[in-house]
Amino acid sequence: MKRVILILMMLTSAVSAVVAQDNGRAARRQAAEDRVMAKRMAEIQDSLSYVEAMNAIDSMDFVFEANMLVFKRGGTARVYSNLNFISVKGDQALIQVSPVDSGGGPNGVGGVTVDGRIINVERRVDKRGNTTLSINVMGRAISASVTFTIPKGGNNTSVRISPTLNSNTITLYGEIVPRDQSNIFKGITL
């Protein structure tokens, strides 16, 4: 009788070890499937934001919201997207750059806000599907070439602002959103 009980206990522990091992495999398999699904969802979201950005560019009614600023000599700064943006509506452009640690500026929110008329618009798509939108902005306090580079299938846009009167080029990184989805705070225009 003792042998039978001992054998039953050994079989029970062996079966539980096999079941526990199967549960570990199933959990790992489920975690891998969840990672694949999350990656697919992120790709779909990127595709949707890309389509929205392209539609907004086509209608020339969009806002580029920057979250990083790169200065002429390579220094970088994290910035607030509601204070650092380029707004385009029809043939008008508004550019606001307000670095967080700038110590103030004439626009009341720590930087510079300028507006102008869009003189020239050129849109190109390269062989890889990346879109480049170049505009020239002329205004009372600005004369610059602004180049938006949007990668195919995504919305992580880079913008290069090159003034025509000096070499103080800056680069901004962020996203293009339709005007009705943007949340920007405009400072005092020069």
Separation CA 74–CA 15 (nearest Å): 62
The closest of 86, 111, 93 to 101, measured between CA atoms, is 111
CB 98 within 8 A of CB 85: no
CB 77 within 8 A of CB 103: no
* pTM for the predicted model, two decimal places: 0.76
- So what's the pLDDT on residue 106? 77
| Domains, the chain, with CATH or none | 1-190 (2.40.128.410)
Geometric angle at alpha carbon 47, from 120 and 128, rounded to 5°: 60
DSSP, collapsed to helix, strand or coil, labels residue 40 as helix
- So what's the pLDDT on residue 45? 80
CA distances from 189 to 37, 76, 107, 131, 138 (A): 46, 24, 6, 30, 14
- So what's the pLDDT on residue 122? 94
- So what's the pLDDT on residue 60? 92
- So what's the pLDDT on residue 15? 57
Instruction: State whether the Cα torsion 72-78-83-84 is positive or negative.
Output: positive
Q: pLDDT tens track of the chain, all 190 residues? A: 667 676 766 666 655 655 556 567 778 888 888 888 888 888 778 778 888 888 988 999 999 999 999 988 888 888 888 889 999 999 999 998 988 776 677 777 778 888 899 999 999 999 998 999 999 999 888 889 999 999 988 888 999 999 888 878 999 999 999 988 888 877 777 7
